[in-house]
Amino acid sequence: MKLRRWIATGVVAVATVATLNALPATAGRPYDPAEQSLRTLGQRHGLHIGTAVDLAVLNDPADPRYRQLAASEFSSVTAENAMKWESLEPTRGSYNWGPADELVAFARQNNQSVRGHVLVWHNQLPGWLTSGVADGSISKEELRALLKKHITTVVSRYKGKIWQWDVVNEAVSDPWDNPPTLHYKGFWAQHLGPGYIADAFRWARAADPKALLFYNDYNIEAFGSGDPANDKTQFVYDMARQLRAEGVPIDGIGSQGHLGTQYGNYDTLQVAAALKKFSGLGLATAFTEVDVRSQLTEGVQAGDSAEINPRLQASAANFSVLLRACLADRHCLSFTVWGFTDKHSWVPGWFSDPPEGMATIYDENYQPKRAYHEMKADLIYAGPPYVLPRVPHRPRR
C-alpha cells in the first residue's frame, strides 16, 4: 500500500517535470520559473501557498492590486478576521455571514482552498458572551452548549467548502504567563476546563466529516526553547499525542510562524525536525500565519539603509527557514502568510512599543521584497531526493 502510493506520487512528479519541460517559451523567451507565481511554483510540490485576507481591503475599489495579488499568487486563503466569533455573531442569535461568505466565493472563483480560522479562541469573542459569563447570566453549562452550537452552526454552513479548520487556537500558555509553568490558558480553559479541546474537535468532525481539523498555535516552530520541562512545543506535542491516543479527530498541527528579526529564532534543520516529529504522530502540519517583523528604529523610519538592509535580509532568511522546513516534511500541506503586503499588515497596529513592521513579503507599494524572491527560490531549487510531493491526508474519523 505504502509502496504503491510512493510509486503513484513518483509518477505524478515525473509527469509534472515533463510538463514543465514542455512549457512553451513566454513571448519568445525561454521558460523562466522566477516569472511564475508562488502558487504555481508550490504546485510541483503539491504545496498550497496561502495568505490571510482582509475582506474590507479585498472589496476596496481604490486598492485593486490587493485583490489581483490575492488571486494570482496564492492557492489558499484564510479570513484574517471574518470567521472569528465576534465577526460572525456580534449580537446573540443574529449572524453576519456576509464577509465570510464572500471569502469562500472568492476562493471558489480563483480555484483556491480555504483554511477556516477560527472556531475556538479566547480572543475576539463577542461582548455578549464574555460579559454574560462575567456577570453570571451565562452559566458553565450554557457556555458549553453555546460553544457546541457555535461550532456546529459555523462548520455546517461551510461544510464541504473548507479544506482545513483551525478548531482550537492558542490554548497553551507561554513561559511569561502566570503561573510560568505551561498550562492550558485563557477563557475556555478557565470556564470549561481543558476537556473543551477534545469536545471542540468532536463537534467539528460531526458537522463536517471532510475538513481537516487543526490545532493552531505560535512559538511552536521547534523543540528545545529554554528549559526542557517548560517547552511549549513539547507541551503541544504531548497534547496532540494524547488526543490521538484517545481517538479525538485531530488531523493536523498549525504552526503560526509569527517571528521577529530581533530574536534568535531557529534554523531550518530544527524546524524541519519539529514538523517531522508532529507528522510522526500521523498528523498533517502547516505554517498558518507566517510573518517576520522588525523593530522600526529611528534609523529605519528615517530611511537609513544601514538599518533597513539587515532587517530585510533577516526577514527573508526567516521566511526561508520556515518554507524550506515545510518543503522537507511531506506532511506539511500549506504555507500561509499572515497578509502579503506591509500596506495592510496587522503588525504595526499590534506591536507599537517599540514600533514594529516590515513583516510581509511585499512592501507598502506592492513591490515584492527579498522575502518574496527567497520564497520563490526555495520553491524552485527544491526537489528529490529530500523534497518530495506532499502526501495527501484524509480526515480521521
Residue number with CB closer to ligand XIL (73 or 291): 291
Spell out, one character per residue from 26 to 45, where the chain touches ligand XIL: x when CB under 6 A holds, - when not: --------------------
Residue number with CB closer to ligand XIL (171 or 192): 171
What the block records as the C-alpha cell of 395 is 480526515
Query: Which residues form the catalytic set?
Result: 170, 289
Q: Is 346 in the site for ligand XIL (CB under 6 A)?
A: yes
Report the relative pairing of strands 284-295 and 356-357 from DSSP bridges.
antiparallel
CB 292 within 8 A of CB 259: yes
Q: How big is the site for ligand XIL, counted in residues (CB under 6 A)? A: 6
Give the chain's largest Cα–Cα span.
71
Q: Is 336 in the site for ligand XIL (CB under 6 A)?
A: no
Residue number with CB closer to ligand XIL (350 or 386): 350
**Which one among 36, 164, 169, 320 touches ligand XIL, defined by CB under 6 A?**
169
Give the residue nearest to ligand XIL (CB). 346
CB 202 within 8 A of CB 168: no
Report the site for ligand XIL in 194-213 (rule: CB under 6 A): none
From residue 37, how far is each of 33, 95, 151, 350, 377 by CA, in Å?
9, 36, 35, 30, 11
Q: Is 360 in the site for ligand XIL (CB under 6 A)?
A: no
Residue number with CB closer to ligand XIL (154 or 382): 154
User: Which uninterrupted H or E stretch holds 395?
Assistant: none
What the block records as the C-alpha cell of 139 is 452559566
d(CA 378, CA 383): 10
Q: Is 81 in the site for ligand XIL (CB under 6 A)?
A: yes
Q: From the CB of 82, what's the least distance to ligand XIL, in Å? A: 10
d(CA 32, CA 40): 12
Report the site for ligand XIL in 239-298 (rule: CB under 6 A): 256, 289
Q: Is 342 in the site for ligand XIL (CB under 6 A)?
A: no
Residue number with CB closer to ligand XIL (74 or 346): 346
Length of the chain: 397
**Which one among 73, 80, 251, 342 touches ligand XIL, defined by CB under 6 A?**
80
Q: From the CB of 290, what's the least distance to ligand XIL, in Å? A: 11
CB 197 within 8 A of CB 204: no
Positions that interact with ligand XIL (CB under 6 A): 80-81, 169, 256, 289, 346
